[in-house]
Structure 1
Amino acid sequence: MADLAALSISFEAHEHPAVFTVDESRDLKAHIPGEHTKNLFLKDAGGDFWLVTVPAEIRVDLKALPQAIGCKRVSFGKAEDMERLIGISPGSVTPLAMINAEPGSITVVIDRGLAEAGRVNVHPLRNTATIGLSGADTLRLLEHWGHDALVAPIPTKDEE
């Protein structure tokens, strides 16, 4: 919150019961305007870690993702790596957790549509609240913490 104030970033905060999945957050989304997100904590075949933030409702094509973001084959990272690198446990993952990460330890990827959105909703390091801020301000925060986010169109799977 101090960094938001220091950078004069306007935001709107909402307190709510804990949500751990996109499904659990559906009711909240109806009452909180803006783009809602989900976050994938990934590890590539080369051992590098990635935090990918995408619109909540899309299904990411994990086979096509490496080519889109410039990495090797990816799989989901382990909870202990997530906690060690970004200080967050599963269910609370957010690009704002990069405040806890050493620059260069994780590559942050933000979906292009979210980066351009007027309002993006993310957790403020806990899954009992949501903060809405612009995509541009999200990128500015990440840069302030030493992380140059990759903005990319994220490949999706068609609904089956």
Structure 2
Amino acid sequence: MEEALTVYKLLEELEIQYKKYEHELVFTMEDISKLDINIEGEYCKNLFLRNSKGDQHYLVVVSGSKSVDLKRLAREIPSTRLSFASDERLYKYLKLKPGSVSPFGLIHDLDHHVEIVIDQDLVGLDSLCFHPNTNAATVVISYDDFYKYLKNCENKILFVKI
């Protein structure tokens, strides 16, 4: 849970209001739906992708109920063919393990290599749910505070309709 404590500390430094929920380990959106706690908000799916050369990486943030067409997304951002990045790349750039992919991993991307891609349907929502760099907890924050956090990270932000 040390990963989560780092996230909570940063949110507090940025004066970002959040709610936190600790729970059993979850790895998929289906696992989350089976939790015996009521977490209100839009649970976000976070996909760590790479381009075909492997020289650019993207963190895609989308509603958990949506599927992402990688070919279409590549045209929209624009990029060469997209595929899921390896576990090694995930750890290299965001210091995260599979199952805990989260925009909060950007705190480890000091070179601002990873571009964040946000589904426009998330903009303005009252409550977004993310893992705080561990899949044993969930953090709920407003979109405005999420954007404030992202601006602090200084990674490039792209908005697309997914």
SS in 2 for 1:64: helix
Q: Does 1:126 align with 2:134?
A: yes
Is 109-118 or 34-43 further displaced after alignment?
109-118
Structure 2 stretches of 5 or more lacking a match?
A: 1-7
Report matched runs for 1:71-150 at 5 Å.
Answer: 71-150=79-158
How far 1:82 sits from its partner (Å)?
Answer: 0.4
- TM-score normalised by L of structure 2: 0.89
Q: In structure 2, what is the equivalent of residue 65 of structure 1? A: 73
Question: Deviations for 1:92-131, whole angstroms, at most 9, x for unmatched residues?
Answer: 0001110011243111111112232111000001000000
| Pairwise CA distance, 1:9 | 0.8
Q: 1:88 to 1:79 in 2, by over 3 A?
A: same
Farther-moved stretch of structure 1 (119-128 vs 94-103)? 94-103
Name the counterpart of 1:157: none
The structural deviation recorded for 1:37 is 0.9
Matched, 1:41 2:44: no
Partners of 1:135 and 1:65 lie apart in 2 by 22
Matched letter for residue 36 of structure 1: Y
Structure 1: 5+ residue runs without aligned partners? 155-160
Q: Which runs of 4+ in 1 moved over 2 A?
A: 27-30
Q: Is the 8 A contact 1:139 1:149 kept in 2?
A: no
Aligned length: 154
Mapped contact 1:82–1:88 kept (Cα < 8 A) = yes
| Alignment RMSD (CA, Å) | 1.5
